[in-house]
Amino acid sequence: MKPWPYPKWIAHRGAGKLAPENTLAAFQLGASYGYRMFECDAKLSRDGVSFLLHDADLERTTNGTGVAGSFDWSHLSQLDAGSWHSDTYIGEPLPTLESLANFCLANGYFLNIEIKPTPGFEAVTGSTVASEAMRLWQGESIPPLLTSFKTQALATAKQTAPYLPRGLLLDALWDGWLEAALELDCLAIVCNYKLWNKELVDTVHAQKMRCLSYTVNQEDIAESLINLGTDGIITDSVDKLGN
């Protein structure tokens, strides 16, 4: 199995629920708790800019409305992505993937980029995010880990930047998941933590892939996953677990 360069503990969307998810303020807060690796969600604006947002729609985490990918970055960049969380973060903008990359590279932090396509744009999102990651981390010894639930996005990411590490996200063990991960040359399986047991961990490790879990917020669950031999834990509880 190839050496695994990433920390065991990964801050979900920057700082879990302690700050507005997928904003630079969240990653700064997560770092203040000692986290050195972060998970984020990346999708495309209508004009092809890679930016951070989990949902397909804007309503939950911004003051905008509609499908995020149907707007140009000039519009999206003006939205308030912080006031939904608390008054402390009023006016916090949506960040580009490039702005988060600059933050991580300047501070020696690691990143797990979940490719989160607008429905129907899986292929172009995978290729564009991979191309952007390849450019931003050019010459760096430890690149970001690209993950997705969407195999088509991972396939085009592989075609675009084959040397960038990939991981398949699973909320269920659907038929053919292992074969798909191997076809995509994945280095990790990132599971809903409830799926992991000794047999599954052994199966993944036997294929020289790593076992990561999302989203783990209780100490006893984290301890049981560590005891199973899993390799990484994504958590919202950055103030209580890990670092």
Provide the annotated active-site residues.
12, 54
Residues 6+ apart with CB under 8 A from 131: 160, 161
Dmax over CA atoms of the chain, in Å, equals 49
Place of tokens 């960049």: 77
3-class state of residue 229 by DSSP: coil
Cβ proximity of 21 and 61 under 8 Å: yes
3-class state of residue 139 by DSSP: coil
Q: How far apart are CA 52 and CA 99, in angstroms?
A: 10
Cβ proximity of 216 and 235 under 8 Å: yes
